[in-house]
Amino acid sequence: MNNINRHPSWLKIKLPGGENFSKIKTVLNENKVNTVCTEAKCPNKSECWGKGVFTFMILGDICTRNCGFCGVTSGKPTYTDYEEPYRVSKIAKELNLKYIVITSVDRDDLEDGGSTIFAKTIELVKAENSDCKVEVLVPDFKGKEELIDNVVSKKPDVFAHNLEVVKRLYPYVKRKSNYETSLKVLKYAKSKGMLTKSGFMVGLGENTEEIINLLDDLREVSCDILTIGQYMQPTKKQLRVEKYYSPEEFLELKKIALDKGFLKVESGPFVRSSYHAEESFFS
């Protein structure tokens, strides 16, 4: 019997809790704002919230794509909340946040892919809390430069877009996305002067050569910051884990990536796109 989905000993983390944690949850619920921290069941929620770092998920909680690794609900969104940017900026001010990440589900149903709401959210957060740094983690906007321009025109401090997996796995894991389009998004953002960032997961059947090729492709488009994390199956509906990488293997991947010229690399079993985002920016 194959026990690959038994979590190894190093995949243990303290569950979130405490008075401050409860207060934050209350503020988020009262303002009807989603966070990836909750929607994607991020294991680092307690650590990040304790530092005042949040990843807001705008544009609803239904994604128009159906990636094999993701636990977010997929389907056809029925509503677009244009007041959401105001609530996000209100929370950023109320909690005196110093660093936030703004991401979203894919909204292929919208002509602008949701880029206008991204732009408004950046604008309002910076207007209400000038000390707050803003990182955006955007969908691919189907590679449309005018939609990327909507976002970069508001001057986020970091522009992130994730490759997620190696090229060979795209038809299997990211069926409605395109590897080359994602690289194009990062390349275009860099051409506009953005500090760029990307991330990917391991454990879905990739090999070392494919990982090296992905790293080379990201450096080819001058990507600055990188995250590497372990894929963990959210529910039985998503793809199974093919391999659990050891902490030592993650350290080796980090060394390889740094040797290739990335400015900052976060690599580890629990690393997610926004993990230590503020440290990657300020260090």
pLDDT mean by block of 10 residues, the chain; 283 residues: 58 56 61 56 55 80 90 89 93 88 95 97 94 95 98 97 97 94 98 97 97 98 97 90 96 98 95 71 60
User: Which tokens is 69 given?
Assistant: 């690794």
Q: Which residues of 33-52 are buried (b: 16+ CB within 10 A; e: fewer)?
A: bbbbbbbbebbbbbbbbeeb
Alpha carbons 135 and 210: distance in angstroms, whole number: 28
Q: Rounded to 5 degrees, what are φ and ψ at 104?
A: -160, 165
Which CATH number is 19-282 given? Answer: 3.20.20.70
Please enumerate in sequence order all residues whose Cβ is within 8 A of that of 121, keeping only pairs 6 or more positions apart, or say none: 56, 58, 84, 85, 88, 89, 102
pLDDT for residue 44: 52
pLDDT for residue 38: 52
User: Could you tell me if 265 and 257 are in contact, meaning their C-beta atoms sit under 8 angstroms apart?
Assistant: yes
pLDDT for residue 97: 87
What string of H, E and C letters represents the secondary structure of 116-150?
Answer: HHHHHHHHHHHHHCCCCEEEEECCCHHHCHHHHHH
User: Which tokens is 12 given?
Assistant: 């243990």
pLDDT for residue 68: 86
Please enumerate in sequence order all residues whose Cβ is within 8 A of that of 175, keeping only pairs 6 or more positions apart, or say none: 65, 66, 67, 68
pLDDT for residue 160: 97
User: Which tokens is 79 given?
Assistant: 């509503």
pLDDT for residue 42: 53
Angle 186-255-195 from CA coordinates, rounded to 5°: 25
User: Could you tell me if 55 and 274 are in contact, meaning their C-beta atoms sit under 8 angstroms apart?
Assistant: yes
User: Could you tell me if 28 and 35 are in contact, meaning their C-beta atoms sit under 8 angstroms apart?
Assistant: yes
By C-alpha distance, which of 32, 108, 119 is closest to 67?
A: 108
By C-alpha distance, which of 65, 66, 69, 62 is closest to 238?
A: 69
Identify the bridge partners of residue 58 per DSSP, sorted by sequence position: 104
